Amino acid sequence: MKRNEVVIDGHLLKRGTLRHTPAGIPALNLIIGHKSIQFEAGAKREARCEVDAVVIGDLAVKLSRQKLNQPLQFSGFITQHSVKDRRLVLQVVSAEETGSGIGQNRNEGDQDGNGTR
């Protein structure tokens, strides 16, 4: 299997209305805002972006109630939005507040508890 893992610190900027898939599973579209200082070629660079994201299941219900603009750590994988829409989207599998988790699968398999192996 090829690696496809994303962990990003950000803020929940926007969220759609909680909906349900044809199978009855809760689903929620999100926009995650990110801002940080990164190092590139030995120099500091400000990184800013807005990431389209989707979350399904119980976590969708929890994030539908989450306050906007609160710092969270999102974990998941990148995929295309749909068969017909090839835009990339972050499929969120966990979301955690600083200091306390609200998500699922927190640091599953981690050796150091910081999201790394």
Domains assigned to the chain: 6-101 (2.40.50.140)
Mean pLDDT to the nearest integer, 71-78: 97
Distance of CA 42 to the CA centre of its chain: 28
- Rounded-to-5 percentages of helix, strand, coil across the chain: 5, 55, 40
pLDDT at 113: 40
Mean pLDDT to the nearest integer, 51-74: 96
End-to-end CA distance of the chain: 16
- Locate the DSSP E strands across 57-110: 71-80, 88-97, 100-101
CB 79 within 8 A of CB 92: no
Position 26 pLDDT exceeds 90? yes
Mean pLDDT to the nearest integer, 74-88: 94
